[in-house]
Amino acid sequence: MLGVDLGTRRIGLAISDVTGTLATPLTVLQRASKPSLDHQAIVATAHDEEAQQIVVGLPRSLSGSDGPAARSVRDEVAELRAMAGEHLPVELHDERFTTVTATRQLREAGRYRGRDSVDAAAAAVILQSYLDGPGRAGRNV
């Protein structure tokens, strides 16, 4: 699976192992001039990494409601789904606190190297949360 953290300036990407057990930071994409170029890059990375699914973080508010950022991600995911096609499903997953968690983990490990390192690590936190989530046994990996 490919994990995606859609930011306004950068897109963090993470990948799971073949068993769908462990998520690892992969890379950070700088936002392109058009969202469609970003979506092409995400789908191309999914194909290059032989991912069978894309998991995108949904930045909900603390109350669990959708604010402007979540609505923007939902719009972008609709376009990403159209580009990915039916053979590469795109799922949304709650990403509350992932950037904070990723920053803390990187600092504790002595691996914090600025925002770029956090974006890929946040994508890994999103994907790992999805992999560890309820109903995991019934998902196609």
pLDDT in tens, the chain (141 residues): 999 999 999 999 999 999 999 999 999 999 999 999 999 999 999 999 999 999 999 998 777 788 888 999 999 999 999 999 999 999 999 887 666 677 677 778 777 676 667 888 899 999 999 999 875 544 433
The confidence score (pLDDT) of residue 138 equals 41
Domains and CATH numbers, the chain: 2-133 (3.30.420.140)
The confidence score (pLDDT) of residue 141 equals 33
Sequence-distant (6+) residues with CB within 8 A of 126 are: 3, 4, 5, 14, 55, 56, 57, 93, 95, 98
Q: How far is CA 71 from CA 27, 67, 119, in A?
A: 25, 6, 20
pTM of the model: 0.86
The confidence score (pLDDT) of residue 26 equals 96
The confidence score (pLDDT) of residue 14 equals 97
Radius of gyration of the chain (CA): 14
